[in-house]
Structure 1
Amino acid sequence: MAVKGAVMVPHPPLIVPDIGRGEERRIQATVDAYRRAAEKIAEWEPETVVVLSPHSVMYADYFHISPGSGAKGNFARFRASQVAFDVKYDTEFVRFLSQEAEARDIPAGIMGERDKSLDHGTMVPLYFLDQYDTDYELVRIGLSGLPLTKHYELGACIKKTAEMLGRDTVIIASGDLSHKLKEDGPYGFQKEGPEYDERIMNVMGRAAFGELFDFSEEFCDKAAECGHRSFTIMAGALDGLAVKAERLSHEGTFGVGYGVCIFKVTGRDPERFFLESYRREQKKKAEKRKAEEDPYVGLARASVEGYIRTGRKIHVPKGLPAEMYSRRAGVFVSLKEDGRLRGCIGTIAPVRGSIAEEIIENAVSAAVRDPRFHAVEEDELERLVYSVDVLGETEEIKSPDELDVKRYGVIVSRGRKRGLLLPNLEGVDTVGEQIEIAKRKAGIPDDGGEISLERFEVVRHF
């Protein structure tokens, strides 16, 4: 078995005694668990150790794999320059992994290195491992802003590469849990913080990796976690393998969650191809949605699918509700994929002859012209979830007190700059947040200057 096992570990620099100077004893359970995890890795005698680090180079749409023959690093920024590392990279593994990712159309490779030196998300695990084993070569991989499914797929590429090379390999998923566990912690408190920690430790303690996909982007953002993508890549590297999971510790002493788990590979298990199972379930849900969708969402979907497959916009079809032909209104079309926003384009006021025409134009724009995302590709179509917001008339208001984040959307203006935010969006819970986001979209500085507010209601179709 090429992949021998994996560990999930945090990376607080203070856990290193030269940095913590005694503070590390306040998380002694984490220290003890870390040592046990490092001992277990040494028992597996890996030829290659793959470290997945949130603090390596990270791009929105690309996985960076550290290039070259090796790298150095130390804890100088934490006043402990004497704790230093000089690692050798497994260049053959990196080459084969990059080729495997390219063959699966996963954006990953050695381009875009900004800092060759090792990051603390890599060095903290190596500090413990090197006390038990130094006879290995390293592969260091950063995370991305791509969906969790892509992270899992990259993990499957790691597994395939290890098998092709016959390389005994161990995965280290470096990542802290929530940073929002305590009011007096460095990042404050959010109720999603302890909720995230409880959920993730339950999932990882059972090695129920399919449930990693159930954590929404909004929930993870509010919890301010940093390891979820690392854990998901690790899960992909264990795809189809039977594992014995051992939950060693969980602490949140300093307001940040630290969890340690060990996963020993014991064989193969055809019931543990979690991405395949997730895709099947998503396909069933898509078919159900399609059967139940209303004409507004159906038209948005048909517009995107028609354009992506043929390169041409569809004509307004027959058989729609009368108001879609006769009424004019601003329309926003939103696309999501695997729970993450995939595109959103709309018009504040109508610019076309009917709602139907507005939907067709904005659906296509959301799919291929949203500057935040690359154009939707054909193999994504069955995974897209659509919503269509038809805007009502706008009215000027004098105070934020006249807003309701669930009921009203807002338009914030200063001069020629106008920013709009729809109502009832997941992750936007207060009027203050709603106005702030709309200001950012408009490019209005947060300088306390005067702004104009308008509100509107929408009819949301999904």
Structure 2
Amino acid sequence: MEKAVVSKNCGRPVMLILPHAGYRYSGNTAAAGFRTIGAPDKSSIDPNLIVLLGPSHYKAFRGCSIISVDYFKTPLGRVKLSRRIAQRLLSDTLFKEYPSAFEQEHSIEILLPFLQRIFGDRLSGDIQILPILVGELDNGDAERSASTIISALAGSRPLFIISSDFTHYGPDFGYMPFSNVGGETALKLKELDNGAINFILKKDIAGFSDYIEKTGITICGRNPIKIALAMPLAGFRAERVSYDTSGSATGDYTNSVSYASIVYCGAVRGIEEYGKNPHSLTADDKRFLLKAARDNIVSWLDRGRGIRFFPAAIPPGCMVKRGAFVTLKNSGGLRGCIGNIFGDRPLIQIVLDCSYNAAFKDPRFKPLRPEELKRTVIEISLLTVPARVISVEEILIGRDGLIIERGMHRGLLLPPVAVEQRWDRDTLLSQACLKAGLPPHAWKERSTTIYRFQAVVFSEEDTR
């Protein structure tokens, strides 16, 4: 790393694509990429989470795999893993846990000593890693995976590292798009790799996938790269930092593997929003949402249809995708409550939909009547991304709401409920099970999944 050429043309790195072969072959290329984020014992960026995506070479599966362990260990010491964020990813069925996939896999572990040289003891302290092995997926899966990862990184300052080698050429790899003739092989390999790299630099997932289909190029980390290309980067600039082949190291191109280091600079969209969620809303944003909810209910009562907004009239904070519930209270008692847990649409749309459903479609109540509206108070709860509970000791009364799931059963209780009802933790868990249509002790059984989340609640009473 000390000998690597330093590139400073890009800006602030947020994502790297790096090789994972033996250090003799790809070490210099990887070092050049790592030098964009620092030098030995001196980092130039300050992440608190490093997300590593590598291909699964030894186990076939669709989607992505996490692993629930506390740390990895290398000759340089321990590296702490983020089990909390890994468990969040399991809310998407594309993410599973295949521990056996990690047993022989080298695509992630070979990069860890580089990170340890840069960040030192921080990797066993305030910086955690999130290793993800990627199996087979199409472009739609890649985009969905990227969205799920972004949603799970609430409150994080991430660095993304994508592990991949490029063309695997020769009879050992069963790929010979051209004959190994004299000194032309190196030039032809570089031309072949450049075709793929050019699409990567443009962040063109469709072009990259089409190029793979057209050429058959043997890029082992093509699927982690697809997820990288689907990441929402704002103001990005990409640069190829280094390129090499194993043939140049051995002097023999009969069989050769290509390596490239690529750096993306810019900002990852969505993480800042989720990281601030739900505290990033201003007082004006909250008033806007509460008024929109009431006006929407009035419109349905008076005209039989909801309200709409011109996009320019909606505050930016109300366009962020985030989970929310709308609660109606009448004389202090519940009159309706409907929500969207995972925030798959802009917040304003969720508030409009949920205000209608809370007023007219909550199966526990009759539809709201016009004469009730004046004495009805509207309350909105903005949710953080649900995190899977590893131990019930994580659950804090007053801070956490719960989601209980088993099969087709799901029950949710918002954070204030336990305080209002004066429940302890076990009672909260039991009541969430009952809400899901399960026995009250179901939370103790392994087939039941528990998620916790936080909420910031604001109501019309707060703005009067």
If the length of structure 1 is used for normalisation, what is the TM-score? 0.45
